Structure 1
Amino acid sequence: MQTSGPSPRHRQSPRFLALYALAVGGGSASYAPFLTLFLPARLLELFGDRAVEVMSYSAFAGAIAASLSNIAFGWASDRTGHRRGWILAGLVLSSLLLVSMQWVETIFHLLAMVVAWQVSLNMMLAPLAAWAGDCVPDEQKGLLGGLLSLAPGMGALVGAAITLPLVAGDGARLVVNAALVVAMVLPVLVAGKPRPMPHLRQTAESGAPQALDAPAPDPASIPVWRMWLARLLVQISEASLFAFLLLWLRGLDEGVRENDVARVFAFVLFAAVPVAVLAGRWSDRARRPMAPLVVSVAIASLGLAGMSVAPNGTWGIGGYVTFGIAASVFLALHSSQTLRVLPRPEHRGRDLGVFNLTNTIPSLVMPGIALALIPVFGFHALFAVLAGLTFLAIPLLSTRRAVRNLA
């Protein structure tokens, strides 16, 4: 009697997958509320008219610190061969520094604290990302990607919860934020107990046996640099829309308010979750890991193209929702499928740190693109260029086998 897939002992336990997804959500909650809510408010309180200038300095310094420390701690966790100790140390240090942000008073103190916090935060995030590659076999990486799509929404929920009137004062909110992050990350360290997957920690040259009934290595024909560049192109578009969506929609419809845009963002985050889970499960069962990536990035580029010709706010929001859901699905599934193509498991943490640059580089590239296009040609030209950049991810991710698998 033939089996339809690998036996349970060659699959990771549902408990670990659930607790790991919760921990990644905690990672999102560890920085999203602070960067989007508390830091801007604190800068306005301390520096008034200089808040935007100081925010720019802190964003730049933080992005550099995050980029370098993510690579460094990924490499360190590779060298030690252990992830959990680094994750725990980063969780404790980043939580303490987050709570300490309430006592920042000067620009120098702020920049120093932001850099230190980013370093400690990536001490947790880099090994956490690499841990999935050590524990989740290829047969479950689609499901893993679907579960990872929960993380942005969980971060947004924590931000909404700690801004309720019941949690008064920035100091109390930072304490509650840190406590929630600990509650989300700690369970996987204590009770995750992943099934050992030694073949995921060994190189192909070592002759290690592969998992039973492993899928055809379709992604192996996708070079790492293509995966990296494809994600970068999508991230540039997403960063641009996150920064300019409200301004553009108000140009189409002056009645659009901040709350309207916040609700659109929230809808996109949560609507993407079931789509990503279903697409990820399908890719596991059909053994077509690249197909959902190609389809989702194609839909994302169509959404941007629609935005470039949108005549009013309603059509504009429709185009953004199309882009936002497709891009969220792409980014979540891309994060898990990237683990397939990294060539050296013993350098997995370091290499994922290099992939993390696709999250920070857009913050440096996006302002230049926007300033070159918007003042002269308007937002429509910006979205047309972004649609073209996103569309370029399709040939980057497509091989002859991947194209055949779409049929």
Structure 2
Amino acid sequence: MIEGKSAAPDGVAQWQSRRFLLLYALAVAGGATAYVPFLTILLPVRVEAMAGDASITWLAYAAFAGAIAASLANIGFGWLSDITRNRRVWIFVGLVLSSALLVGLAKADSLPMLIGLLVLWQLSLNMMLSPLAAWAGDVVPDHQKGMLGGLLAFAPAAGAMSGTLVTIPGLAEPDTRMALVAGLVVMCVLPVILFGRPQKFPELMEPRSKPATRLDGPRQIVARMWLARLLVQIAEAALFAYLYLWLRSISPEIGDNQAAQMFGGVLIVAVPVTLFVGRWADRNDRPIVPLCAAAGASAAALLVMAMAPGLSTALIGYAVFGLSAGVFLALHSAQTLRVLPRPQSRGRDLGLFNLTNTMPSLIMPGLTLAMVPVFGFDGLFVVLAVLAAIACILLVTGKRPK
């Protein structure tokens, strides 16, 4: 099984300050706040108002262009922050530009202009997000990676809650909501830039020993971690996109508000669970065991969903899947920092890992269209369960880093 040595030195362990960890987690939550309400609510509403019956087509164009821009920008700006060795400056510039462009998106008066601004926004947003992700690898020791992963679980919940906040009836006009989101992002990210003064850990900037062969050591571990995350992300993306339609296929009486409450409730519960599991992983120096367990539980839950005889069983299956996937993705983000072999290219390498977040958006629609019309959602969930099970096997059978 893949495992890792603790970064704690002999004798008394050195710890990153709790203040920095909390400010950093707040900043990551701000990053989620920047894109979750916009991409899931505000952008679709804006496109529907401008495109009418053609809104699905234009949303598809926007999603594709945005995913490509985000993928390239995350790699590119991560690499640039590696070269300059200054994450903070890139985070600040990205924050300013992405916030300004988010406000500017409300002024777009044509669909081509809207998509053009969307691409620029994705570029500037990832100018902030990529160095922010790499910064944790520079300053958070391995024996705190589990705690870091637990704190990162706040980000999805914050994104979902911000979407609920800005869409409260009467709170803000549609165009004003963009500015409201931008303000929330600045409030979350700026404190770590201004007040985050992390302790330095020189050992985190030292390259890991080179493996004897290309199929052993860090390279093999990184490949397994990358593929495992991609497989779980495909399943998570499918449920994110089709949860409401699946629930309606089981019980036509269920409403969008009930589905939204279910989705948000699972994200909130995932926060304390991930914190607990992350602390356990730190104390026992078993960073990958929770990932294996979470991937396995996700696979089992998907099978329950595929065979669910009614709504109650379906909801239980989804709750277990959503909780397991949430724990997996948050802890995986932190433990990835543990296995990357080259600190000098940490930002670029994390950008490559970020492809596991954007590629599912391109893979999942084709998979769904191939499965659901022929086999229904049950067939789709069986395939997704197999993918999650493969992710579990990849992690269980991997070698322990030296």
Instruction: Specify the TM-score bucket, using the shorter chain as the normaliser.
Output: over 0.9
- Is the Cα contact below 8 Å between 2:161 and 2:264 reproduced in 1? no
Aligned 1:79-158 pairs, distance under 5 A: 79-158=83-162
How far, CA to CA, are the matches of 2:83 and 2:17 in structure 1? 26
Calculate the TM-score normalised by the size of structure 2. 0.93
AA matched with 1:392: I
Indicate yes or no: 2:392 matched with 1:394.
Answer: yes
Match of 2:328 among 330, 352, 355: 330
Would the alpha carbon gap of residues 8 and 180 (structure 1) be closer, same or farther in structure 2, given more than 3 Å must change?
Answer: farther
1:368 paired residue number: 366
AA matched with 1:263: Q
Would the alpha carbon gap of residues 343 and 297 (structure 1) be closer, same or farther in structure 2, given more than 3 Å must change?
Answer: same
Match of 2:233 among 235, 244, 249: 235
2:213 paired residue number: none
- Is the Cα contact below 8 Å between 2:221 and 2:399 reproduced in 1? no
1:161 paired residue number: 165
2:214 paired residue number: none
Shift of 1:165: 3.2
How far, CA to CA, are the matches of 1:192 and 1:222 in structure 2? 34
AA matched with 1:32: V
Indicate yes or no: 2:202 matched with 1:202.
Answer: no
How far, CA to CA, are the matches of 2:333 and 2:317 in structure 1? 24
How far, CA to CA, are the matches of 2:274 and 2:235 in structure 1? 19
- Is the Cα contact below 8 Å between 2:266 and 2:319 reproduced in 1? yes
Indicate yes or no: 2:55 matched with 1:58.
Answer: no
Would the alpha carbon gap of residues 391 and 9 (structure 1) be closer, same or farther in structure 2, given more than 3 Å must change?
Answer: closer
Aligned 1:236-315 pairs, distance under 5 A: 236-315=234-313
How far, CA to CA, are the matches of 2:50 and 2:71 in structure 1? 27
- Is the Cα contact below 8 Å between 2:62 and 2:115 reproduced in 1? yes
How far, CA to CA, are the matches of 2:11 and 2:75 in structure 1? 35
AA matched with 2:394: L
- Is the Cα contact below 8 Å between 2:50 and 2:111 reproduced in 1? no
Shift of 1:204: 3.3
Would the alpha carbon gap of residues 97 and 103 (structure 1) be closer, same or farther in structure 2, given more than 3 Å must change?
Answer: same
Q: Deviations over 1:124-152 (max 9, x none)?
A: 00000000000100000000000000101
Shift of 1:90: 0.2
How far, CA to CA, are the matches of 1:73 and 1:349 in structure 2? 8
How far, CA to CA, are the matches of 2:205 and 2:80 in structure 1? 15
The sequence identity of aligned pairs, in percent, is 53
Shift of 1:399: 3.6
Report which structure shows greater RCO (CA 8 Å, sep ≥6). 2
Name the Cα RMSD after superposition. 1.8
How far, CA to CA, are the matches of 1:104 and 1:157 in structure 2? 26
How far, CA to CA, are the matches of 1:26 and 1:178 in structure 2? 9
1:211 paired residue number: none
Aligned 1:338-349 pairs, distance under 5 A: 338-349=336-347
Would the alpha carbon gap of residues 321 and 5 (structure 1) be closer, same or farther in structure 2, given more than 3 Å must change?
Answer: farther
- Is the Cα contact below 8 Å between 2:219 and 2:341 reproduced in 1? no
1:210 paired residue number: none
AA matched with 1:393: A
SS in structure 2 of the partner of residue 10 of structure 1 = coil
Q: Which runs of 5+ in 1 are unaligned?
A: 207-218, 403-407
- Is the Cα contact below 8 Å between 1:220 and 1:340 reproduced in 2? no
- Is the Cα contact below 8 Å between 2:102 and 2:121 reproduced in 1? yes
Q: Which runs of 5+ in 2 are unaligned?
A: 1-7, 211-216
How many pairs align?
A: 388
2:316 paired residue number: 318
Q: Deviations over 1:194-253 (max 9, x none)?
A: 0011211121359xxxxxxxxxxxx95962110000000000001111111111111111
SS in structure 1 of the partner of residue 273 of structure 2 = helix
AA matched with 2:34: S
1:405 paired residue number: none
Would the alpha carbon gap of residues 221 and 292 (structure 1) be closer, same or farther in structure 2, given more than 3 Å must change?
Answer: farther
Calculate the TM-score normalised by the size of structure 1. 0.92
AA matched with 2:258: D
Would the alpha carbon gap of residues 7 and 40 (structure 1) be closer, same or farther in structure 2, given more than 3 Å must change?
Answer: farther
How far, CA to CA, are the matches of 2:374 and 2:167 in structure 1? 39
Moved over 4 A (4+): 4-9, 219-222
